A and B are shown apart, each in its own frame.
Chain A
Amino acid sequence: MKKLIIADKEFDSRLFLGTGKFNSNEIMEQAILASGTEMVTVAMKRIELNDKNDDMLHHIVHPHIQLLPNTSGVRTAEEAVFAAQMAREAFGTNWLKLEIHPDPRYLLPDSTETLKATEELVKLGFVVLPYCQADPTLCKRLEEAGAATVMPLAAPIGTNKGLQTRDFLRIIIEQSNVPVVVDAGIGAPSHAAEAMELGADACLVNTAIAVAGNPVEMAIAFKEAVIAGRRAYEAGLGIQSENFEASASSPLTAFLNE
């Protein structure tokens, strides 16, 4: 399989993991390692002055893993730039998952602010991976602004509904000159495999693994699904019929009667 390349950095794994919603940091770390991922998101929060023991960072810092700080919690481009600067300082990386979703009910990204923030953050030297609507026009604009990838949503965050935006993802994948990472809404390994079969360059998965009965096993299932889907895409899928008429795969000569 081809390696994934983002901003001149090579990745063997095409599965990115989020770190929210796990029952414990230990299970999260086991799932991360089992998944084979090389890209893991991290959010930020204000420190609590009396709590010195809550340190999730050392569970996700491994030599083979690129940290991807996110800007969750910001509502505007201006806030996103501030959050990005804090993240770069705290985590020592200029890679950034830009996410601006002011509406807590659907957590849908604000396209105007996301584009504006991408333009500013690229100028400030960040490697920007924007979480965005599955809007082909917006994705082109983000690419032109210098985004390192685009990360269109499959469905609202945490819904596990799969590729609700399938047809738009197809257009985005067809048009994009930067890697397309399908983010949000992927709820089952089959969804991830389908996204990869469509030609997505990677998938970002969080909830589906974190809330699974066995998150470590589910991480392995997603790892295998992403590999299977990518392998199938590179192998070239057969064309789907437009009707239900069969096309024989065995010879139809009636050898018993001849």
Chain B
Amino acid sequence: MTILVNNKETELVQGNTIANLASQLGLPEKGVAIALNNRMIPRAQWAEQTLQTNDSLVIIKAACGG
């Protein structure tokens, strides 16, 4: 299915959960957070949280800043 990841069209190749997406993108175990349609989804819920076509996800990580 096609979803939006940080505003970029992305094809989720296998499965339909956030955990599947995290695995596909090779996200690290720490230091990232994911929001689905502007709602933060805790990592503990990634395996159950299913995605639908055109869902919009924001994935953030650490950046330098004061």
Q: Is A21 interfacial (CB 8 A cutoff)? A: yes
Select from chain B the residue with minimum beta-carbon distance to A19. Answer: B64
Question: With the chains together, A204 CA to B24 CA distance in Å?
Answer: 39
Interface size class of B (residues with CB under 8 A): 20 to 34
Whether the pair A82, B38 counts as a contact (CB closer than 8 A) is yes
Residue A206, interface by CB 8 Å: yes
Which residues does B use to contact A, with CB under 8 Å?
Answer: 5-6, 8, 10, 25-28, 30-35, 38, 40, 42-43, 58-66
Asked if residues A86 and B35 are in contact (CB atoms below 8 Å), the reply is yes
- Report the interface size class on chain A: 35 or more
Q: For residues 40 through 59 of chain A, which have their beta carbon under 8 Å from a beta carbon of chain B? A: 41-49, 52, 55-57
Cβ A90 vs Cβ B32 within 8 A: yes
Question: A21-B64, A46-B58, A48-B6 are known contacts; what are 15 more A-B pairs with Cβ within 8 Å?
Answer: A18-B65, A20-B64, A28-B64, A42-B65, A47-B6, A47-B27, A47-B32, A52-B26, A55-B62, A56-B63, A86-B60, A87-B33, A90-B61, A92-B30, A204-B66
Alpha-carbon gap, A234 to B8, bound state (A): 55
Which A-chain residue is minimally distant from B32 (CB atoms)? A90
Q: Give A18 to B63 CA distance when docked, in angstroms.
A: 11
Which secondary structure dominates chain A's binding surface?
mixed
Contact call B62/A89, Cβ cutoff below 8 A: no
A-B contact pairs, 9 of them (CB 8 A): A18-B65, A21-B64, A43-B66, A47-B6, A47-B60, A55-B62, A82-B38, A91-B31, A92-B30
Give the number of residue pairs across the A-B interface with Cβ within 8 Å. Answer: 99
Q: Give the residue name and chain of the A residue nearest to B35 (CB).
A: A86
A25 to chain B, nearest CB (A): 8
Q: Which residues of A contact B (CB under 8 A)?
A: 18-22, 25, 28, 41-49, 52, 55-57, 60, 70, 72, 82, 85-87, 89-92, 157-158, 204, 206-207
B33 — which chain A residues lie within 8 A by C-beta?
44, 85-87, 89-90
How close is B64's CB to chain A, nearest CB, in angstroms?
4
Q: How far is the CA of A20 from the CA of B31 in the complex (A)?
A: 18
B9 CB → nearest A CB, Å: 11
Q: Is the CB of A207 within 8 A of B26?
A: no
In the complex, which of the residues B8, B34, B38, B60 contacts A45, with contact meaning CB atoms closer than 8 Å?
B60
